Amino acid sequence: MNSREGRGGAAVVLSIAGFQDGQLSLRFPFDWAIVQAMKSVPGNSWWSDADAWILTIRPGIVDLLLEALYDTGLFHAGDPLDLDAAAALFSQSESVPIPQVEATPIPQVEPASIPQDEAASTPQVGPASSPQVGPASIPQVEAASIPQVGPGSIPQVEAASIPEAASSRQVEVPSIRRASTSGHGSDGLLASFRYALEVRHYSPRTMAAYSQWVGRFLAFHGGAELTSLGEREINHFLTQLAVGDKVSSSTQNQALAAILFLFRTVLGRPIGELGDVVRAKKPLRLPVVLTREEVRLVLANMRGDKWLVAKLLYGSGLRLMECLGLRIQDLDFEAMQILIRNGKGAKDRVTMVPATLVSPLRDHIMRVKVTHDHDLAEGWGEVPLPGALGRKYPSASIEWQWQWIFPQERRWKNGETGKEGRYHMDEALMQRAVHEAVLKAGVHKRASCHTFRHSFATHLLESGYDIRTVQELLGHSDVKTTMIYTHVLNRGPSGVRSPADGL
């Protein structure tokens, strides 16, 4: 492969080495493009003690890494990679031996006898002259080719020597999840579990909740091998949750879903009937709803952007994170509608913009624009983009349409790179503001941010709107979920005259 110089004029040197079972370490001089490429690859982490990026080996991860590095423009492809030797590097966790190659020995060459300006003219080694390759025998290779890597070695790789991801053959990386069933003391199993959730596009909150439940399940049966765990052990854990911890039925069901995902998807082991599991009782709860007067009192005790968020929660029926995650392009004043992207259940939907909020929203967006222009003038102004859009559109993160409608007041700062940007308002700030407003208003109900959404649906039904329309505005998949708000209508106990009133 031909070498290419880095941004500063000198070649960028990137070191790759086996780190631990199922992991690689990568070291390179700081370059923001390479850092962004590393962050785009799942399963990476920065370990300051080793001064290196640690990458967990997963199926297809090599292709993702090479593609991300190639997209930086710092690397280019040359001669085809010896994929059989490369596969040996990424199969350390499976202990796959590297095949011996019968070859004519190559005379040893002293490093000092090869001038650097002749590195590009080093003859290529063909199949008839390849030395034997083993963990303790690594041939010396010049900058124009890919080094053979054995366990424990840290080869120096020129920037130009990273090939593009599209090769003539795929490198099959063994899955670490099958190799981790003999014990769960290491993080390999949980890493595979999180990866399985990630590739299936589970939400970050679901991934965090499921990982927590799997960790608790493994800790509950501490010391036992996964091969010995089955239906009986799952029953014991779920029963303990219901009887000992007295969790709700939804919490118990979430734990069960996480454990079943572990066994069926990650470990590839079917789970049969669970038998007599003690189930937590599922109560029928009615939502807390504020009257129109109580909503006015609560909103009267809020100020600034917190008031605007609360008014939007009530006026449009948004969930809290749906509201805080709104971007400039999601608000359409011409059509008087809001586009909620990737809502609960990964669904998009449309709801209305309250007419009374058009002017306050325009004024607020003007102030956000001033803040964004100030950030751009200081060299920042970036916001996180969903999925892989940041790689597809590198400059989109500073464009106006992608900015948050409710950005945080202070910029975040990356301690490693020094880069600064803004995220949306933290949900805890809004939750605290609503709680304080409810107390000041003297409303004696257990109201929260989500209570505004309940009140939105209830007041629409009271006004005579069709329940199907309310269902679509709320984004419910089943109308049965929306039916719970009919308890406030003139039916049932509220529609019956008490006999005491006739005395």
Domain range summary for the chain, segments of one domain joined by +: 13-108+130-161, 178-266, 285-503
Task: Find all residues with CB under 8 Å of 55, minimum gap 6, and list them.
Answer: 23, 24, 25, 26, 38, 41, 43, 44, 61, 65
In this predicted structure, what is the pLDDT of residue 49? 63
Q: Helix or strand or coil: residue 337? A: strand
CB atoms within 10 A of CB 323: 25
Nearest alpha-carbon partner for 440 in 311, 299, 233, 279 = 299
In this predicted structure, what is the pLDDT of residue 436? 96
Nearest alpha-carbon partner for 269 in 219, 233, 222 = 233
Burial status of residue 115 (CB atoms within 10 A of its CB: 0-12, 13-18, 19 or more): exposed
Q: Helix or strand or coil: residue 340? A: strand
Separation CA 147–CA 158 (nearest Å): 10
CB atoms within 10 A of CB 152: 12
| CATH superfamily name and code, 178-266 | Tyrosine recombinase, N-terminal domain (1.10.150.130)
CB atoms within 10 A of CB 393: 12
Separation CA 208–CA 202 (nearest Å): 10
Task: Write down the residue that tokens 């007599």 correspond to.
Answer: 276
Amino acid at residue number 44: N
Task: Please state the pTM of the whole predicted model.
Answer: 0.54
Pick the CATH number of 285-503 from 1.10.443.10, 3.90.1150.10, 3.30.70.1140, 3.30.565.10: 1.10.443.10
Separation CA 73–CA 60 (nearest Å): 21
Q: What single DSSP character describes residue 45?
A: E
Provide φ and ψ at 495, rounded to 5°. Answer: -105, 5
pLDDT by position in tens, the chain (length 503): 333 444 444 566 777 877 766 778 888 776 767 877 777 777 777 766 667 778 777 767 777 788 777 777 776 554 444 545 544 554 444 444 444 444 444 444 444 444 444 433 444 434 334 444 444 444 443 433 444 444 444 344 444 333 333 333 333 333 333 334 444 444 678 888 888 898 888 888 899 999 999 989 988 888 677 778 888 888 889 888 888 888 888 898 899 999 989 988 888 888 777 666 666 677 777 889 999 999 999 999 999 999 999 999 999 999 999 999 999 999 999 999 999 998 887 889 999 999 999 999 999 999 999 999 999 999 999 998 988 888 889 899 999 999 999 999 989 888 777 888 899 999 999 999 999 999 999 999 999 999 999 999 999 998 889 899 999 999 998 888 888 887 666 555 555 676 777 77
Sign of CA dihedral 156, 160, 166, 168: negative
Q: Which alpha helices (DSSP H) does 72-187 contain, by range?
A: 83-89
- 319 touches 453 (CB < 8 A): yes
Within 13 A of 153's CA, how many CA atoms are on the CB side?
Answer: 17
Task: Find all residues with CB under 8 Å of 338, minimum gap 6, and list them.
Answer: 316, 318, 326, 330, 331, 332, 350, 351, 352, 353
Provide φ and ψ at 168, rounded to 5°. Answer: -70, -20
CB atoms within 10 A of CB 182: 9
Burial status of residue 310 (CB atoms within 10 A of its CB: 0-12, 13-18, 19 or more): buried
- 219 touches 212 (CB < 8 A): no
Separation CA 80–CA 86 (nearest Å): 12
In angstroms, what CA-CA distances link 55 with 27, 60, 138, 243, 381? 11, 13, 22, 41, 29
In this predicted structure, what is the pLDDT of residue 227? 77
Nearest alpha-carbon partner for 210 in 255, 271, 252 = 255
In this predicted structure, what is the pLDDT of residue 202? 87
CA distance from start to end of the chain: 98
Q: Which residues are catalytic?
A: 319, 344, 450, 453, 476, 485
Nearest alpha-carbon partner for 237 in 223, 256, 250, 254 = 256
- Reading the block at residue 382, the tokens are 């970036």
- 403 touches 368 (CB < 8 A): yes
Separation CA 49–CA 254 (nearest Å): 36
Helices then strands, counting H and E runs in the chain, come out as 16, 10
In this predicted structure, what is the pLDDT of residue 123? 43
In this predicted structure, what is the pLDDT of residue 201? 83
- 421 touches 382 (CB < 8 A): yes
Q: Which alpha helices (DSSP H) does 317-443 contain, by range?
A: 320-324, 358-377, 389-392, 427-441
